[in-house]
């Protein structure tokens, strides 16, 4: 009977140690994790099957987000599918939101954990440095995209010749601005983003001069037809004379939603100061007097302030002869930065932007109805270097890995 039992394999003493070192996380590797629950989870996280599943989920997410752009626009698709943890399905008429698929942030976080698990399976950096380098490059591009979504700014400056700007404005987002103009030399500004207005019924903050009750929020609106006047909930300001009506949200990138809101203001003793209409259709701000102080209120495009000023000196616009097709347009601007003693004149034109203090200004367009109006795109992206760094790390890592494998293969053939 003993002859039928499998015989244990025989090996030289050095071979057993070598086999043990093939297991990632073995203590013999030096500095690795001991076999434990953590080791099992790291093997699962680094599984190639998980990599394939995550890539398939990313493809489905990109496909669904691309189709959704037709109805909700590019900005809406990005917020719903790619800049979210979960993708929700809204039940029509019920107001319920049911999660149906992981969002871009969830899939990206899972990919990052998968890369960490794969790196653990490689063992120490000294054994497989090139694979580590390539996977670090992939991790950099994932973290870089998160940094871009968090800190990058894309906005516009629209000004006429002779005008000066120290801020840019977002093309789609709005904010409710409360400005204390009592001091003739200095304004104090409070800005409430439209996302907070859309989801809040009451905004009560000790830093604000008023309590803000949102009576009605309109994501998109149009001025009320004068021939068919509609009652306005506003009791103070311009809203007591004019009104706006809700409009279906637009998804065309060449158009934009113009929101409006009816807000009631209360002082610190909760005494009502009336209900006001604030709208993107109203160019001028409205005046509010409370406790011997003068305030102004408006719903305006979200602003991003610079530590310097830009003045449009001259706008150059040329068309092809006999057509309205632009041939050349450029902006001659004056940059003034008192903090750094800068005062210089520059020319901004196509493929020749102005880069200064983390901001980049591109010549984006002009006003077709006023040839003296220039439109600059202002971009701030602290993570601009991450795509270049990621591509360099992945390229060097893959090239090094292929070269190492080729060298070992050639050496074995010679031996």
Would you say 357 and 338 are in contact if contact means Cβ atoms under 8 Å apart?
no
Cα torsion at 83, 89, 92, 93 (round to 10°)?
A: -80
Q: Tell me the backbone φ, ψ of residue 405, rounded to 5 degrees.
A: -65, -40
Quick one: pLDDT at residue 94?
66
Sites in the chain below the pLDDT cut of 50: 1-3, 5-6, 14-33
pTM above 0.75, yes or no: yes
Quick one: pLDDT at residue 10?
52
- What is the C-alpha R_g of the chain? 30
Q: Look at residues 54, 113, 116, 62 and name the one whose alpha carbon lies nearest to residue 87.
A: 62
Quick one: pLDDT at residue 34?
52
What's the distance, CA 328 to chain centroid? 31
Quick one: pLDDT at residue 126?
79
What does the DSSP 8-state code read for residue 415?
A: -
Quick one: pLDDT at residue 22?
44
Quick one: pLDDT at residue 30?
42
């Amino acid at each position: 009977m003993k002859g039928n039992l499998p015989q244990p394999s025989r090996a030289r003493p050095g071979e057993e140690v070598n086999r043990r070192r093939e297991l990632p996380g073995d203590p013999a590797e030096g500095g690795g994790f001991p076999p434990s629950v953590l080791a099992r989870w790291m093997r699962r996280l680094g599984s190639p099957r998980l990599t394939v599943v995550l890539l398939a989920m990313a493809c489905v997410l990109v496909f669904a987000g691309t189709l959704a752009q037709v109805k909700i626009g590019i900005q809406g698709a990005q917020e719903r599918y790619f800049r979210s943890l979960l993708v929700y399905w809204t039940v029509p008429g019920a107001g319920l939101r049911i999660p149906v698929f992981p969002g871009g942030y969830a899939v990206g976080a899972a990919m990052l954990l998968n890369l960490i698990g794969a790196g653990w399976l490689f063992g120490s950096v000294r054994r497989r440095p090139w694979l580590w380098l390539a996977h670090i490059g992939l991790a950099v591009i994932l973290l870089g995209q998160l940094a871009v979504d968090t800190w990058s700014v894309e906005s516009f400056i629209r000004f006429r010749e002779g005008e000066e700007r120290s801020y840019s404005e977002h093309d789609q987002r709005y904010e409710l601005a409360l400005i204390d103009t009592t001091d003739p030399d200095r304004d104090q500004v409070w800005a409430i983003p439209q996302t907070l207005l859309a989801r809040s019924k009451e905004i009560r903050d000790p830093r604000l001069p008023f309590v803000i009750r949102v009576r009605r929020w309109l994501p998109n609106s149009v001025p009320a037809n004068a021939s068919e006047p509609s009652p306005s909930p506003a009791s103070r300001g311009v809203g007591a004379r004019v009104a706006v009506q809700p409009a279906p949200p637009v998804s065309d990138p060449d158009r934009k939603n113009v929101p409006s809101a009816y807000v009631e203001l209360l002082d610190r003793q909760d005494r009502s100061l009336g209900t006001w209409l604030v709208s993107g259709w109203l160019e001028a701000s409205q005046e509010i007097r409370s406790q011997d102080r003068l305030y102004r209120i408006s719903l305006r495009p979200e602003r991003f302030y610079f530590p310097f000023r830009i003045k449009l000196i001259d706008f150059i616009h040329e068309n092809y002869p006999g057509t309205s097709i632009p041939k050349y347009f450029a902006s001659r601007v004056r940059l003034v930065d008192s903090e750094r003693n800068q005062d210089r004149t520059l020319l901004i034109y196509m493929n020749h932007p102005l880069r200064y203090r983390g901001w980049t200004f591109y010549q984006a367009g002009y006003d077709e109805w006023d040839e003296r109006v220039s439109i600059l795109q202002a971009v701030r992206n602290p993570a601009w270097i991450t795509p270049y760094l990621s591509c360099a790390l992945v390229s060097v890592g893959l090239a090094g890995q292929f070269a190492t494998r080729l060298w070992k293969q050639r050496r074995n053939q010679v031996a």
